[in-house]
Amino acid sequence: MMNHIGELSDQERMIQQQIIERGIRDERVIAALRAVPRDRFFTSTLRAEAFADRAAPIGHGQTISQPYIVALMTQRLNIEPVHRVLEIGTGSGYQTAILARLAADVFTIERIKPLLDAAWERLMGMGIRNAHFRHGDGTAGWPTAAPFDRLVVTASAPELPELLLRTHLVDGGIAVLPIGRGENQMLIEVRRIGDTLETADVCPCRFVRLIGQEGWPET
């Protein structure tokens, strides 16, 4: 039996020190983090960084988020097993895999095709079959599959993407996303109540830019 932190696996040490000790209490979220091997989402040259307390590059100018931020965003979504979730920004597929452990179905959109293809291969290799992948502008959403119970954006928009939220969230639905530029970003929780979008600040954060119709222009 493991009786102190030094005997834990790298992944379990990450969960104990970076997730649980920082206040993540949702048992389903913690179980999902345990079930998804984070190092599978890193290339062999960067695998030593898999459990570090920071974001890491995944190529094409994109990153895999810090473990705590993945856990925090997922906990704030309050996903139930019957929910359908839209994820904008597949990236490595790590957040997608966590969501797929919690929801009935996950629909994920990525504008960078090589990242999308690699994420699809990873999740297929892990036996995850309730994730659906699409290549394109995430801010345009997935109209043929909308609306969704939950929505998460893993890149920062200059302002709240209201059209996306109004057309893709069910009444009572929750979205979690970063807003802002550079170092002045804030993680936001949004609840759609009828025609109103109620927002609450969660914490300062740092994400790559969201490119698209309701994001930043591609430069």
Catalytic residues: 65
Chain position carrying tokens 């920071």: 54
CA separation (Å) from 199 to 131, 156, 178, 190?
Answer: 27, 15, 12, 4
Helix (H, G, I), strand (E, B) or coil at 85: strand
CA separation (Å) from 158 to 63, 109, 120, 217?
Answer: 18, 19, 28, 10
Counting DSSP H helices and E strands in the chain, the numbers are 6, 9
Cα–Cα distance for residue pair 47/51, rounded to 1 Å: 8
Number of Cβ atoms within 10 Å of the Cβ of 160? 16
Number of Cβ atoms within 10 Å of the Cβ of 12? 15
Cα–Cα distance for residue pair 172/168, rounded to 1 Å: 12
Q: In the chain, which ranges are continuous DSSP H helix?
A: 10-14, 27-35, 67-77, 94-102, 113-125, 162-168
